[in-house]
Amino acid sequence: MCGIIGFCGYLDAKEELVKGLAELEYRGYDSAGIACFTESGIEIVKSVGKVAELENKLPPRMESGCGIGHTRWATHGGVSEVNAHPHQCGNVTLIHNGIIENYHELAKALENTGRIPVSRTDTEIAAMLIDSLYNGDAMEALRRAVERLKGAYAFCIMFADQKDVIYCIRKGSPLVCCSSEEGSVVASDMVALLRYSKEYFVLPEYQVAKVTKNTITVMELDGTVVSPVMLSIHWDMSAAQKNGFKHYMLKEIHEQPEAIRRTLAPRLKKGKYLLPDFSEDGIQDELFQDTNRIMITACGTAMHAGMMGRILMERLLRIPVNVEVASEFRYADPILDEKSLVIVVSQSGETADTLAALRLARKRGAKTLAIVNVKGSSIARESDYVLYTHAGPEIAVASTKAYTAQLTAFYLLTFRFAYVAGKLSEGQVSDYMKGLNEVGELMERVLEQKDKMKELSKRLTPAQDLFFIGRSMDYALSCEGSIKLKEITYIHSEAYAAGELKHGTLSLITGGVPVIALATQEDVFAKMISNVKEVRARGAMVILITKEGNTTAIEKDICDEHLILPASDDLFAPFTAAIILQLLAYYTSSYRGLDVDQPRNLAKSVTVE
């Protein structure tokens, strides 16, 4: 998704903007540009490709203390320099993250006033609109523009006759701000603020930030000055660096044990029994007592965490639990009421479809609880309750530590809910919590075997098609393994409920097709082994993942490769098996020479629909 940076201060604006864009690269983009106030007016430089290519185009002398920068993830209009931001129309120079849904209608109206766009973007139309409404009063122009704009936006705007001032306004798309000795900074997310300050605020929707070297003034559209809610970042710059790893993804795979321990720590109520404790999260037991059904909604990997949560919750709580992808949920007609609990899951807390699903759930009267990794994000702010994962910044597009931290959050919620509902005794919950507390160590043991996964990935590297099969929790995990593999290796992959194979997919299993079979759940183990035999009989290259202690003996020669997880309760196998699937995807992508951290066409946070 697009990255936005604005700087107004006492350093070289051009340099600060390029550094900021480099820190936002992980969001995914295909072109970049900056605009700076200089002695000769507003200078704009744009380029297709990486920030490094933009940097090479910058004129040596572009003296400025104030400017805006943008990395574009193409939505309206192809990848080209003309379509790259910033866009300039008359007095207005503007960058944008989001989608203007009524830009056709606006373009028509503007054409009637003789304004003809040069690009194919909705952003240029927005700039044209604001310029058409601007007569020296920026607040008036923004007030009138907001009345006509439909869709999502985070704008940074410079007016030619207001030197060294940046105006910002947002709706739907994220924008965070901070002040520092070096100057004032605005950005799409806090990773780009870390260099300046750990204290920041989220610009509330429909409010305007007027950014100058020394101050950021936040106002309602009527000009009333307001004080934004300040937040603190609890991790330092190094947390958002590779720290010696070749890729962010590999670093974040290795950070998982620590991410899980950090997510657990503030929720461990020590005493005779080890029980989940949400008092610091402001989640009271009444939430569980007044709930008779649960709906989980999210996108991508977050939804896969929800699939695992559903299995666990239905098994232990014995109430109906459903999972729905947010992009479907938001256009469905869900049956919800005040006794429904909707759990929305999102690493970034900014995914447009998930945010829309949350808003629908609230409109239908459901209680909402967000499992989110980014503090102060839109989804966190708009939910009734928030259970933060403490995975730290996740930079790689492929989500890993956020996923297992989301699982941890679901396990904590389920154990507390089961205790409150009398489904589990204190002793039973305590036993489960002890098992959850040991997961970090089990994952570290799997990480020690990473060279085995590295070697095995060589067998996957040439694959054209690849299948993951599993049952129960292993099926939910297969879905996650499949998205991990395809999004960074570009190998076509599908996850299948193993029992479904003979209802169609088995026709695709031919000689040498890799099948990764997850068989960690004792209650369906024998069935899984027969599914493994089915695919092997048709020539599949089978990688079988089981758990130490699976009682059913594994016949000889039943698979090509056999990976064994450390012994644990079946309930915790997803944590250790996830590491194997993540490493297989990572090393396969590396062997294929691909951009592991920023795979083609994808963005870290999908803030557009």
Residues taking part in catalysis: 2, 604
Q: Where are the beta strands (DSSP E) in 401-503?
A: 465-470, 492-497
Contacting ligand AGP within 351-370 (CB under 6 A)? 351, 354
Positions 79 through 108 that interact with ligand AGP (CB under 6 A) = none
Stated as kind and residue range, the H or E segment containing 375 is none
By CB under 6 A, what part of segment 391-410 binds ligand AGP?
397-399
Handedness of CA 372, 188, 219, 227 (dihedral sign): positive
* 88 versus 347: smaller Cβ distance to ligand AGP: 347
> Looking at this protein, which amino acid is placed at residue 74?
A
Query: Residue 346, interface with ligand AGP (CB under 6 A)?
Result: yes
CB of 353 to ligand AGP, least distance (A): 8
**E strand or H helix that includes residue 267:** none
The token duo for 374 is 């980014």
Kindly tell me which of 540 and 596 has the beta carbon lying closer to ligand AGP.
596
Q: Which is nearer to ligand AGP, 8 or 380 (CB)?
A: 380
For the CB of residue 606, give the shortest distance to ligand AGP in the complex, in Å: 5
Any contact of residue 377 with ligand AGP (CB under 6 A)?
no
Of 13 and 397, nearer to ligand AGP (C-beta) is: 397
Residue 124 in contact with residue 89, Cβ under 8 Å?
Answer: yes
Examine residue 606 and tell whether it contacts ligand AGP (CB under 6 A).
Answer: yes
Answer for which of 141, 605, 607, 608 binds ligand AGP (CB under 6 A) is 605
Smallest distance from the beta carbon of 327 to ligand AGP, in angstroms? 10
DSSP 204: P
Q: How far apart are CA 430 and CA 288, in angstroms?
A: 18
Residue choice 121, 173, 188, 347 for contact with ligand AGP (CB under 6 A): 347
Q: Give the shortest CB-487-to-ligand AGP separation in angstroms.
A: 6
Least separation in angstroms between CB 198 and ligand AGP: 22
Q: Are 305 and 346 in contact (CB under 8 A)?
A: no
Residues 36-61 as b or e (16 or more Cβ within 10 Å = b): bbbeeebbbbbbbebbeebbeebeee
Identify the H or E element spanning 528.
Answer: helix 525-537
Q: Is 165 exposed, middle or buried (0-12, 13-18, 19+ CB in 10 A)?
A: middle
Only segment of 41-49, 62-70, 345-353, 565-573 that touches ligand AGP (CB under 6 A): 345-353
Q: Residue 92 belongs to what H/E stretch?
A: strand 92-100
Q: How far is the CB of 399 from ligand AGP (least distance, A)?
A: 4
C-alpha 162/C-alpha 165 separation (Å) is 6
CB of 369 or CB of 397, closer to ligand AGP: 397
**Nearer of residues 69 and 306 to ligand AGP, judged by Cβ:** 306
Q: Decide: 517 and 497 in contact? Cβ < 8 Å.
A: no
Nearer CB in complex with ligand AGP: 143/310: 310
CA–CA distance, 494 with 481 (Å, rounded to integer): 9
Q: How far is the CB of 325 from ligand AGP (least distance, A)?
A: 10
Considering only 348, 408, 576, 589, the residue that binds ligand AGP (CB under 6 A) is 348
Residues 529-568 that bind ligand AGP (CB under 6 A): none
Cβ proximity to ligand AGP: between 483 and 519 the closer is 483
From the list 92-100, 241-249, 347-355, 549-557, the region that binds ligand AGP by CB under 6 A is: 347-355
Which residue number has the CB closest to ligand AGP?
300
By C-beta, is 240 or 302 nearer to ligand AGP?
Answer: 302
Give least dist CB 299 to ligand AGP, A.
Answer: 4
User: CB of 347 within 8 A of CB of 331?
Assistant: no
Binding residues for ligand AGP restricted to 278-337, rule: CB under 6 A: 299-302
d(CA 422, CA 585): 41
HEC readout, 141-195 = HHHHHHHHCCEEEEEEEEECCCCCCEEEEEEECCCEEEEECCEEEEECCHHHCCC
The per-residue DSSP string of 8-56 comes to EESS-HHHHHHHHHHHHGGG--SEEEEEEEETTEEEEEEEES-HHHHHH
Contact 530, 499 (CB under 8 A): no
Q: Which is nearer to ligand AGP, 142 or 391 (CB)?
A: 391
Range 468-497, binding ligand AGP (CB under 6 A): 483, 487
For residue 576, state whether it binds ligand AGP (rule: CB under 6 A). no
Number of residues lying near ligand AGP (CB under 6 A):
16
In the complex, the smallest distance separating the C-beta of residue 604 from ligand AGP, rounded to whole angstroms, is 6
Contact, 543 vs 517, CB < 8 A?
yes
From 313-321, 343-351, 451-459, 532-540, give the range in contact with ligand AGP by CB under 6 A. Answer: 343-351
567 phi and psi angles, rounded to 5 deg: -60, 140
Kindly state the smallest distance separating residue 265's Cβ from ligand AGP, in Å.
22
CB neighbourhood size of 539 (10 A): 12
HEC readout, 272-315: CCCEECCHHHCCCHHHHHCCCEEEEEECHHHHHHHHHHHHHHHH
Considering only residues 119 to 148 of the shown chain, the ones binding ligand AGP according to CB under 6 A are: none
Residues that bind ligand AGP (CB under 6 A): 299-302, 346-348, 351, 354, 397-399, 483, 487, 605-606
